[in-house]
C-alpha cells in the first residue's frame, strides 16, 4: 500500500513477482487480458499426475484477487477444477499469470470523493458455463466512489430463464449491500441518499461495470471498465 495526495494505492507487486517465479514464468510473454474473449470452456485434456502444483498456484491467485478485481472471474473459473485439473486447465492458469506479468503495477486507487454514497452494479451470464449450464453472478460495490467489494461466482442451481438468473444475482448483491450498510452505520456513518443497485439489461450491456465478473471481454472494453473501477497500472508507459 502506498499513500500520496491523490489517495491510497493498493498493490501486490512483490507477491506477483514471487508467484511468477513459482510458476517458472518470469520470462514468459505477457498477455493483454486474463483469458481470451472467445474462450469456450471444454472438458478436455489429460489429468495432471499430481494436482498439488495446480492447487498451489490457484490458491495464490485467489489471495491475489484481494486487490485485483480484474482477475476475479478467470480465477473463479480455474478454481472450479481444483480436485481434478487437466493440462488444459493448467494452460488457463498460465494465461492468467502471463496477464499478471504484463500488469504487475496494476492496483486499486482509493480517493476521497467527499461522499459516502453506496452503489452496486450487478450482472449475470445466463447458462454461461457450457459444461453444466449454470449461470454466473457478478457484482461490484462502490462506497464513496471507491470499489470496496466484488464477487464472481457460479450460481448454485441451473436458472430456467434469463429473469431467474438475474434475480439470483440481484438477491446476492442485495444481501451484501444490506450487510455493508449496517456495518457502516455501526461505525458511525450517515447516509443522505438511497442505496442504489443497478442490474443489467440488453440496452446497457456494454456499459455494465460488472461484466468483468461474469465473462471474458475484448481488450479495449476490458481496460475501459477497469479504469472505471479505479484500477490503474502505475508501470504502464501510457
Compute CA 120 distance to the chain's CA centroid, rounded to the nearest angstrom.
Answer: 14
* Nearest by Cα to 29 from 104, 108, 95: 95
Strand order in the sheet with 146-154: 146-154, 136-143, 118-125, 196-198
Walk along the chain (238 residues) and give the pLDDT tens digit of each residue: 677 778 899 999 999 999 999 999 999 999 999 999 888 777 778 999 999 999 999 999 999 999 999 999 999 999 999 999 999 999 999 999 999 999 999 999 999 998 889 999 998 887 666 677 788 888 999 999 999 999 998 888 887 777 888 888 889 999 999 999 999 999 998 888 889 998 866 544 465 788 888 888 899 999 999 999 999 888 764 4
In this predicted structure, what is the pLDDT of residue 55?
96
pLDDT at 92: 95
**What percent helix, strand, coil does the chain show, rounded to 5?**
40, 20, 40
Query: How many CB atoms are closer than 10 A to CB 185?
Result: 11
Element (H, E) at 77: helix 72-78
What is the structure's pLDDT at 128?
65
Beta bridge partners of 7: 4
Name residue, grid cell 485439473.
Answer: 85
**What DSSP state is assigned to residue 109?**
E
Distance (Å, whole) CA 98 – CA 235: 16
Domains recognised in the chain with CATH numbers: 9-106 (no CATH), 110-229 (3.30.420)
- Give the integer Cα–Cα distance in Å for 214 and 174: 17
CA distance 134 to 124: 11
Q: In this structure, what C-alpha cell is assigned to residue 185?
A: 452505520
Report which of 163, 151, 160 is spatially closest to residue 202, judged by C-alpha positions.
Answer: 163
Which pLDDT score is estimated for 203?
43
Contact between 96 and 34 (Cβ < 8 Å): yes
H-only helix segments in 12-101: 13-22, 52-64, 72-78, 87-101
pLDDT at 127: 65
Q: What is the pLDDT of residue 164?
A: 84
Give the model's pLDDT for residue 204.
Answer: 44
Task: Give residue 12's Cα distance to chain centre.
Answer: 15
* Residue 181: predicted pLDDT: 92
> What per-residue confidence (pLDDT) applies to 100?
97
Nearest to 63, CA basis, from 25, 31, 19 = 19
Question: What pLDDT is stored for residue 238 in this prediction?
Answer: 45
Amino acid at each position: 500500500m502506498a499513500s500520496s495526495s491523490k489517495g491510497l494505492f493498493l498493490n501486490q507487486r512483490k507477491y506477483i513477482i514471487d508467484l511468477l517465479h513459482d510458476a517458472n514464468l518470469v520470462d514468459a510473454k505477457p498477455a493483454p487480458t486474463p483469458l481470451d474473449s472467445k474462450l469456450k470452456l471444454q472438458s478436455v485434456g489429460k489429468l495432471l499426475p499430481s494436482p498439488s502444483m495446480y492447487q498451489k498456484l490457484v490458491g495464490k491467485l485467489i489471495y491475489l484477487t484481494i486487490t485485483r478485481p480484474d482477475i476475479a472471474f478467470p480465477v473463479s473459473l480455474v478454481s472450479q477444477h481444483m480436485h481434478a485439473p487437466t493440462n488444459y486447465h493448467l494452460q488457463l492458469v498460465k494465461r492468467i499469470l502471463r496477464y499478471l506479468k504484463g500488469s504487475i503495477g496494476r492496483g486499486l486507487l482509493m480517493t476521497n470523493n467527499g461522499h459516502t454514497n453506496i452503489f452496486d452494479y450487478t450482472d449475470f451470464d445466463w447458462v454461461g458455463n457450457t459444461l453444466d449450464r449454470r449461470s454466473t453472478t457478478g457484482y461490484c460495490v462502490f462506497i464513496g466512489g471507491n470499489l470496496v467489494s466484488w464477487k464472481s461466482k457460479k450460481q448454485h442451481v441451473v436458472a430456467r430463464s434469463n429473469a431467474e438468473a438475474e434475480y439470483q444475482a440481484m438477491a446476492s448483491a442485495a444481501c451484501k449491500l444490506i450487510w455493508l450498510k449496517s456495518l457502516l452505520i455501526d461505525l458511525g456513518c450517515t447516509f443522505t441518499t438511497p442505496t442504489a443497485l443497478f442490474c443489467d439489461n440488453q440496452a446497457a450491456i456494454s456499459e455494465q461495470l460488472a461484466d468483468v465478473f461474469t465473462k471474458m471481454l475484448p481488450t479495449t472494453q476490458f481496460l475501459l471498465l477497469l479504469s472505471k473501477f479505479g484500477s490503474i497500472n502505475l508501470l504502464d508507459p501510457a
